[in-house]
Amino acid sequence: MSIIDGKKVASHIKDKLAAEVKILKTKTGKTPGLAVVLVGDDPASAVYVKNKNKTCTNIGFQSFEHILSENTSEDKLLNLINDLNNDDQVNGILVQLPLPSHISSKKILVAINPQKDVDGFHLENVGRLVTGNALFKPCTPAGIIKLLDEYKIEIEGKNAVIIGRSNIVGKPVSFLLLERNATVTICHSRTKDLSSLSRSADILIAAIGKPNFVTPDMVKNNAVVIDVGINRLDGKLVGDVDFASVSKQASFITPVPGGVGPMTIAMLMENTFQAFKNSL
Ligand code: NAP
């Protein structure tokens, strides 16, 4: 069994970006800018936002942090997005989800200029992704494909089973795998006989949000197992896969932490850099 080291791959990507940013800054005098908007004080979201800003600074991006109170109105948030859409220094806009319940995330996500939608959640960008014309691939799914490629894991012709059908992970990763000629099965909470489907997977992706949900009886021998889950259990971060037992039978497996997580931020930086280059 080999452990897929997402931290190492992400670190290479960020180093490469930092070098490219320097070169373009010398040529154009400009640097990429990412605006991150957080509404409310959810501690997990606050940590994500802090990490994104730190990564921006480390690789030479400008980082614009907008932290708004929990009771911010939808109109106020829409006005901010409008300002960011019109700000030439901002190449990427990320609104940290989930938003408070009085704000429609659908309305907010479609208000972002699709050219600055580095999360790839605008309906136009979702349509582009589904038709194989993505402007920006959603970060976590793009990170998963990058990890498979880095470890030279063949995708074409393989049975890929995804547990979870969210708009941010399950659905988009299924389209990216389909684009790479995998045969894709998407499972969810109403799936019947989940274990028999997951056991057919050459590549098994768990994006469920339930600690240690995937056990060895659900995994084929020598399968590639990608664990997207981030769960807190007894004060520790654990994935959706029972790593200790499943790692014994997988050919490749991502750990939590240090697997998919670091790749999400690296892909966000890549998308922002792409948006910056598109704007030049
Ligand atoms: P989500 O929106 O809550 O979706 C969870 C999915 O799991 C749903 O499709 C749900 O099915 C399915 N599910 C729940 N219980 C199930 C069961 N017993 N059997 C089969 N399917 C079941 O979650 P998400 O946003 O995709 O996130 C999933 C996990 O990944 C979370 O732990 C999250 O923190 C983590 N995550 C990590 C990253 C990263 O960067 N590493 C990024 C995003 C998310 P239904 O649709 O039928 O309800």
Check if 169 has its Cβ closer than 6 Å to any atom of ligand 1: yes
Percent of the chain whose predicted confidence (pLDDT) is above 70:
100
Tell me what the mean pLDDT of segment 188-206 comes to. 98
What's the number of CA atoms in the CB half-sphere (13 Å) around residue 115? 12
Can you tell me which residue has the tokens 């889950």?
229
- Ligand 1 midpoint to CA 208 (Å): 3
- pTM reported for the whole predicted model: 0.97
Coil, strand or helix: which one is 277?
helix
Q: Cα dist. 175→79, 154, 169, 256, 276 in Å? A: 33, 16, 10, 24, 25
In this predicted structure, the answer to whether residue 40 has a pLDDT above a threshold of 90 is yes
In this prediction, residue 184 carries a pLDDT of 98
| Predicted local distance difference test score (pLDDT) of residue 34 | 98
Mean pLDDT, residues 258-278: 98
* pLDDT at residue 229 in the model: 97
What pLDDT score was predicted for residue 44? 86
Instruction: Respond yes or no: is residue 76 known to be catalytic.
Output: no
205 lines ligand 1 (CB under 6 A): no
Report which DSSP code applies to 63: E
Burial track 143-181 (b if 16+ CB lie within 10 A, e otherwise): bbbbbbebbebebeebbbbbbbbeebbbbbbbbbbebbe
The residue whose C-alpha atom lies closest to atom 40 belonging to ligand 1 is 261
The pLDDT value given to residue 179: 97
- Tens-digit pLDDT profile for residues 161-180: 999 999 999 999 999 999 99
Atom of ligand 1 nearest to the CA of 260: 41
In residues, how long is the chain?
Answer: 280
- What is the Cα–Cα distance from 4 to 116, expressed in whole angstroms? 31
Instruction: Let me know: does 107 contact 78? Beta carbons within 8 Å.
Output: yes
Of the CA atoms within 13 Å of residue 164, those in its CB half-sphere come to 23
* Ligand 1 in reach of 186 Cβ (< 6 A): no
d(Cα 208, Cα 229) in Å, to the nearest integer?
Answer: 6
Residue of minimum CA distance from atom 4 in ligand 1: 166
Annotation marks residue 96 as catalytic: yes
Q: Whose CA is nearest to atom 18 of ligand 1?
A: 189
227 is catalytic: no
pLDDT digits (tens, 9 = 90+) for 42-88: 888 988 899 999 999 999 999 999 999 999 999 999 999 999 999 99
- Residues 215-250 have pLDDT tens digits of 999 999 999 999 999 999 999 999 999 999 999 999
Residues 6 or more apart in contact with residue 115 via CB below 8 angstroms: 135, 275, 278, 279
Average pLDDT, integer, range 80-102: 97
Domains by residue range for the chain, with CATH: 28-112 (3.40.50.10860), 139-260 (3.40.50.720)
- Catalytic annotation, pick one of 117, 119, 202, 242: 119
User: How does DSSP assign 224-241, residue by residue?
Assistant: EEEE---EEETTEEE-SB
